[in-house]
Every structure is written in C-alpha cells, then in structure tokens.
C-alpha cells in the first residue's frame, strides 16, 4: 500500500538555545532529539523511518520552519533506498528560514533500484543573514548487484529563494535509457555524484573556496568543481565511485565551512 506521509518541524529559541517547538509526523516517519550537549545552541534532530525505503506510489512531504536566530541540523538514519516501480514515487521538502537562522541537511546517499522512477522537489526560502548547508549524494544504484544506472528516471530539483527572489536552482535529471552517464561529457567513467550548497551572505567566499580546493585536492579517486554563487557562498559538485566516501567528504566540507567539527551523519 502506497504511503502519503507528512512531517512538520518548527523550532524556536529559549534564551540562545534552539528547541523543538512543534512537531507532527505520520508513518513511517519518527523524530528523535539527539543533541548530546544540552547547552549546545544547535538542535540536532534525527529523522527516522520504519519503512525499508520509498515504494511505488509513495509521496513524502516535509516542512521545516526555523524561527529567528534558530540553529538546526537535521540528520538521517540510513541510506535512502528507492525500490523498483511500475509507476512512480515523489518527495517534497519545504524549508522556511527566518532572520539569522542556520540549517544543515546532509542526508545519507540515495540508492535507486532497478526500475525506480522518483521525483524530488526541494524549496528553501531564506530571510536575512541566514546560513544554509544543503547536500545530496546520488548513487548509480546497487552497484554490487550489477545494477549500474538501471533506474528508469530520477529527477531532483532544489530551489533557493531569498524572500521571493530565486537565487539558486539545481536541476538534476537522470534517464539512463536516453544517455550513457558514464560516457564523455557526463560522469566521465564515475558512477556516483554529490552536490553541496553553502550559503551565507557575509561569507568570505575566496577563503572558503581555497579551503575547499585544498581539501578536495587531497581526496583520492574523485573529480570535482567549485563555483562561487552570486548571493554569497559556494556550490560544489563531486564525482566518485563510493557513496560513503562522498558522504564523508560533504560532512567534512560542512565542518570547514561552518568552522566546527565535521557535520554528523
């Protein structure tokens, strides 16, 4: 039976500490507060699921609201598997960030199985002086099972708005029946890809770019590109062959950009 699932998170401040003001979720979602240091200004929430993955006909909707000055890191529990389908499945996530808020979301890699057909739409709306860290890792499928780009279709759209103005749009579309993604001009022999958006209006972009390039130069068996964003921040694309490696690179880069320890899984 297909699931029509919803998740709602709203944060607020108690002094300088962010806390979970409101939460609502339907199966298969669950939320857990995993903040170890109760004096940590940042709220750490683990998004858990009782489902083995996204099934045919599923639709997930998530909304996150951060009040002024709030800091939230949303973590995932495991890889997101997208199972074989006769039709399709979809996921929508909307993030609303008020002034001076911080949001980090670096989910585990996505693994589309043979025949998967999946669409994801992410909308992020920033107010003033917000800080955003947003990442995604997409694999070719169950590589060890011989499912290399055996999915039907994967479409992920991420739009970032400053108030009502669109400042970033990332549009990732894979249709392996039409293209050989390992070929020249596409993934160039790689099977996995990761993207990372870091936004902060007053960021020292030149310094951050140099730090990112220096860090990625030491990574093995990957290729990458780093682009300066007009709003203040960077967009990175990394190609590789190992999901865990790319996920760890994003977490380490998140730590470099936010001047803290590597972002948790």
- Residues 182-192 have a mean pLDDT of 86
Question: Are 246 and 79 contacting, i.e. CB atoms less than 8 angstroms apart?
Answer: no
Buried b (16+ CB within 10 A) or exposed e, 122-158: bbbbbeebbbbbbbbbbbbbebeeebbbbbbbbbbeb
Pair of tokens at residue 151: 């999915």
Supply the pLDDT for residue 259. Answer: 79
Taking only the tens place, the pLDDT of each residue in 195-213 is 999 999 999 999 999 999 9
Domain ranges of the chain: 4-258
- The backbone torsions φ and ψ at residue 217, rounded to the nearest 5 degrees and listed phi first, read -60, -25
Taking only the tens place, the pLDDT of each residue in 137-172 is 999 999 988 899 999 999 999 999 998 899 999 999
Taking only the tens place, the pLDDT of each residue in 26-52 is 999 999 999 999 899 999 999 999 999
Supply the pLDDT for residue 144. Answer: 87
Q: What burial class does residue 17 get, using C-beta atoms within 10 Å of its C-beta: 0-12 exposed, 13-18 middle, 19+ buried?
A: middle
Cβ atoms within 10 A of the Cβ of 16, count?
A: 9
DSSP string, 161-218: EETTEEEEEEEEEE-TTT--TTSTTTTTT--EEEEEEEEETT--HHHHHHHHHHHHHT
**pLDDT band with cut points at 50, 70 and 90 for residue 133:** very high
CA distance 201 to 218: 28
Taking only the tens place, the pLDDT of each residue in 94-111 is 999 999 999 999 999 999
**pLDDT band with cut points at 50, 70 and 90 for residue 231:** confident
Supply the pLDDT for residue 190. Answer: 94
Q: What burial class does residue 4 get, using C-beta atoms within 10 Å of its C-beta: 0-12 exposed, 13-18 middle, 19+ buried?
A: exposed
Pair of tokens at residue 196: 């990372």
CA distance 35 to 45: 7
């Amino acid at each position: 039976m297909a699931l029509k699932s919803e998740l709602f998170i709203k944060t607020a401040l108690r002094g300088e500490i962010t806390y979970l003001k409101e939460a609502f979720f339907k199966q298969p979602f669950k939320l857990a507060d995993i903040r170890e240091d109760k004096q940590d200004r940042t709220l750490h929430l683990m998004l858990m699921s009782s489902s083995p993955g996204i099934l045919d006909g599923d639709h997930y909707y998530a909304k996150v609201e951060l009040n002024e000055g709030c800091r939230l890191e949303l973590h995932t529990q495991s890889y997101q598997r997208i199972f074989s389908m006769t039709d399709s499945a979809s996921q929508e996530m909307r993030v609303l960030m008020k002034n001076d808020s911080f949001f980090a979301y670096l989910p585990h890699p996505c693994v589309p199985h043979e025949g998967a057909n999946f669409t994801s739409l992410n909308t992020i709306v920033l107010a003033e002086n917000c800080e955003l860290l947003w990442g995604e890792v997409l694999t070719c499928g169950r590589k060890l099972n011989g499912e290399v780009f055996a999915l039907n279709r994967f479409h992920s759209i991420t739009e970032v708005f400053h108030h009502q103005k669109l400042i970033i749009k990332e549009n990732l579309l894979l249709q392996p029946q039409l293209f050989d993604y390992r070929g020249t001009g596409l993934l160039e022999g790689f099977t996995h890809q990761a993207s990372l958006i870091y936004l902060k209006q007053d960021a020292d972009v030149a310094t951050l770019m140099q730090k990112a390039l220096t860090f990625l130069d030491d990574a093995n068996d990957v290729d990458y590109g780093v682009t300066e964003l007009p709003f203040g921040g960077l967009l990175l694309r990394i190609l590789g062959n190992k999901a865990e490696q790319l996920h760890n690179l994003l977490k380490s880069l998140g730590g470099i950009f936010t001047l803290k320890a590597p972002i948790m899984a």
